[in-house]
Amino acid sequence: MRSEEPLLNYDELAEKNKRYVWHPFTQMKEYIEGDPVIIAGGDGRKLQDVRGNEYWDGVSSIWLNVHGHRVPEIDQAIRGQLEKIAHSTMLGMANVPAVLLAEKLIHLMPPGLAKVFYSDAGATAVEIAIKMAFQYWQHKGQPQKQRFITMKEAYHGDTIGAVSVGAIDIYRHTYSNLLFSPIHVPYPYIYRSPITGDDETQTAFFLDELEKTLQAHHHETAALIIEPVVQGASGIIVMPDGYLRGVRELCTKYNVLMIADEVATGFGRTGRLFACNHEEVTPDILTAGKGLTGGYLPVAITVATDEIYEAFLGDYEDQKTFFHGHSYTGNQLGCAAAIANLDLMEEKNLIHEVQQQSRYIASRLQEFSKLSHVGDIRQKGFMIGLELVVDRETKEPYEWTERVGVQVCTRAKELGMLIRPLGNVVVFMPPLASTKEELEAMLDILYQSIQEVTES
Ligand SMILES: *Cc1c(COP(=O)(O)O)cnc(C)c1O
């Protein structure tokens, strides 16, 4: 799709991009030889580049976007806030939207979560959770509880603490001497499980593995961190029913804090407001980010129970203060965008819509099992991962050097949709407000891309 006229001089911008910019998660040597997409605008569920091409935003600008781009209500909320003030510090003072957003969030959170600590990225929200959990035990007179339990292949962000509790080897091994060492437990990745059996059997097996670890290490463990219901960056891996509930029960039993990292899953992405809602779980600490501002501005939150918050209370001389903060903590523009995003979600009954459209996506995904290289189809709400394999019988993976996921996404781009793979997993995460017609168009491109790349 092309409009008549280029909006800006592409060649000039591409040259400057090459000369001045270092991109995230990108091998620049290869990237600068390519033909980069330079986004100039967006509207609804579409993005436009400076050459006038239009694309579906098939991964919600990396899992953020909720209502679409240039949403009048959110735009207006930011403009309205700009008329008042853009930013002032939260160190020792408050601001209007940060207070009102915190109130709103606490009413929406799983019951028991009570205090909102602001930051500006998922990774910082996780850093804060790690430090809070660590310090909590010092205040409780159990300073030996210093370690963390994490799931194999977990992803929690890219700062040193967040990478420490992460478990994806390629993001970790280069920095291993800088990192602290958590205790790893196997994640219930059913498609490649070491045991056979139904979901109930799998749940019991993996909870048993966790319990063995807790028995051995609970006395030295501050917290367990988990991506609830869907492990995202490892390949959109959906856990079996009952597992999250079981994790909560085991953490309680062994006196280990539970941190639920809802940075990817929060704010409707899985078909409930929070993934923890699927199993009526309240973690001790919940982190969220990505969808909070509708994909507009960088605001993240670490939400704690009163039990944790109160452990930090004391006289100044007690030195129980939580010494952590960022320059832009509680940014007014971001908080105003978040309030507008949440109001709009409510007004549009968006969670209900997501549930409806998820059923449509599920029905369309059945067709994908006709494709001979689609090994596993995973979906929870608007989080979809299609694992491509060389051989469906043996589940033999593609060599990573073949970059089959990248090839599929390159084809999708030519067909008018921007998506980004995770290794051999093709990820589809459309904005939550996508209509049935829009989803249909996106799924058509997804199907055609996979078919052409894997069956040619
Ligand atoms: C994306 C993500 C993060 C990191 O968030 P950033 O905003 O990119 O720092 C942390 N945890 C999970 C589960 C994520 O998906």
The DSSP string of 111-176 is: TTEEEEEEESSHHHHHHHHHHHHHHHHHHTT-TT--EEEEETT----SSHHHHHT---HHHHGGGG
* 420 CB burial (10 A radius; 0-12, 13-18, 19+): middle
- How many Å separate Cα 370 from the centre of its chain? 29
Asked if residue 245 and residue 98 are part of one domain, the reply reads: yes
Reply yes or no on whether the pLDDT at 203 is more than 60.
yes
228 CB near ligand 1 (under 6 Å): no
295 CB near ligand 1 (under 6 Å): no
Last residue of a domain, one of 313, 347, 381: 347
Asked if residue 290 and residue 150 are part of one domain, the reply reads: yes
Reply yes or no on whether the pLDDT at 8 is more than 80.
no
Query: Average pLDDT in the 343-370 region?
Result: 98
Q: Which two tokens stand for residue 62?
A: 């990396």
Q: Report the mean per-residue pLDDT for the chain.
A: 97
Asked if residue 274 and residue 401 are part of one domain, the reply reads: no
Do the beta carbons of residue 36 and residue 14 sit within 8 Å? yes
Do the beta carbons of residue 354 and residue 382 sit within 8 Å? yes
Measured distance CA(146)–CA(185) in Å, rounded: 17
For tokens 């909070």, the residue is 292
Reply yes or no on whether the pLDDT at 212 is more than 50.
yes
Tens digits of residue pLDDT in 160-171: 999 999 999 999
pLDDT band at 1 (very low <50, low <70, confident <90, very high): very low
97 CB near ligand 1 (under 6 Å): no
Do the beta carbons of residue 220 and residue 147 sit within 8 Å? yes
Asked if residue 203 and residue 62 are part of one domain, the reply reads: no
Query: Average pLDDT in the 364-376 region?
Result: 97
Asked if residue 378 and residue 343 are part of one domain, the reply reads: no
Tens digits of residue pLDDT in 109-143: 999 999 999 999 999 999 999 999 999 999 999 99
123 CB near ligand 1 (under 6 Å): yes
Residue 261 in marked binding region? yes
Q: What is the pLDDT of residue 151?
A: 98
- pTM of the shown model: 0.97
Number of Cα atoms under 13 Å in the Cβ half of residue 259: 31
Reply yes or no on whether the pLDDT at 359 is more than 80.
yes
Best residue among 286, 290, 301, 425 to mutate for probing ligand 1's pocket (most ligand atoms within 8 Å of CB) is 290
Q: What is the pLDDT of residue 4?
A: 52
- For residue 222, CA distances in Å to 173, 177, 207, 327 come to 24, 21, 19, 28
Reply yes or no on whether the pLDDT at 254 is more than 60.
yes
pLDDT band at 456 (very low <50, low <70, confident <90, very high): confident
Residue 51 in marked binding region? no
The residue contributing the CA closest to ligand 1 atom 10 is 156
289 CB near ligand 1 (under 6 Å): yes
Has residue 196 been placed in a domain? yes
Has residue 3 been placed in a domain? no
Do the beta carbons of residue 68 and residue 44 sit within 8 Å? yes
Has residue 1 been placed in a domain? no
Q: Of all residues in the chain, what percent carry a pLDDT higher than 70? A: 98
- For residue 112, CA distances in Å to 105, 132, 267, 280 come to 12, 17, 18, 11
Measured distance CA(343)–CA(101) in Å, rounded: 11
Asked if residue 188 and residue 263 are part of one domain, the reply reads: yes
Can you tell me whether residue 249 is helix, strand or coil? Answer: helix
Asked if residue 385 and residue 292 are part of one domain, the reply reads: no
Residue type, 420: R
Q: Of all residues in the chain, what percent carry a pLDDT higher than 90? A: 98
Asked if residue 220 and residue 261 are part of one domain, the reply reads: yes
Has residue 294 been placed in a domain? yes
Do the beta carbons of residue 283 and residue 248 sit within 8 Å? yes
* 455 CB burial (10 A radius; 0-12, 13-18, 19+): exposed
Residue 123 in marked binding region? yes
The residue contributing the CA closest to ligand 1 atom 15 is 264
Has residue 2 been placed in a domain? no
Query: How many domains is the chain built from?
Result: 2
Give which of 70, 435, 98, 127 is closest to 259, Cα–Cα: 127
Asked if residue 376 and residue 272 are part of one domain, the reply reads: no
266 CB near ligand 1 (under 6 Å): no
Last residue of a domain, one of 328, 347, 366: 347
Q: Which two tokens stand for residue 369?
A: 């099992």
Query: Average pLDDT in the 17-46 region?
Result: 95
Asked if residue 284 and residue 204 are part of one domain, the reply reads: yes
Asked if residue 240 and residue 342 are part of one domain, the reply reads: yes
Reply yes or no on whether the pLDDT at 3 is more than 80.
no
Asked if residue 403 and residue 309 are part of one domain, the reply reads: no
Measured distance CA(67)–CA(62) in Å, rounded: 14
Q: Which contiguous run of DSSP H or E holds residue 73?
A: helix 72-82
Radius of gyration from C-alpha coordinates of the chain: 22
Query: Average pLDDT in the 394-420 region?
Result: 97
Has residue 144 been placed in a domain? yes
378 CB near ligand 1 (under 6 Å): no
pLDDT band at 2 (very low <50, low <70, confident <90, very high): low
Residue 118 in marked binding region? no
Last residue of a domain, one of 321, 347, 373: 347
Identify the CATH number of the domain in which residue 251 sits.
3.40.640.10
Has residue 5 been placed in a domain? no
Can you tell me whether residue 337 is helix, strand or coil? Answer: helix
* Segments forming the whole domain that contains residue 132: 75-347
Helix ranges (H only) for 240-388 are 243-253, 306-311, 332-347, 350-368
Has residue 253 been placed in a domain? yes
Identify the CATH number of the domain in which residue 47 sits.
3.90.1150.10
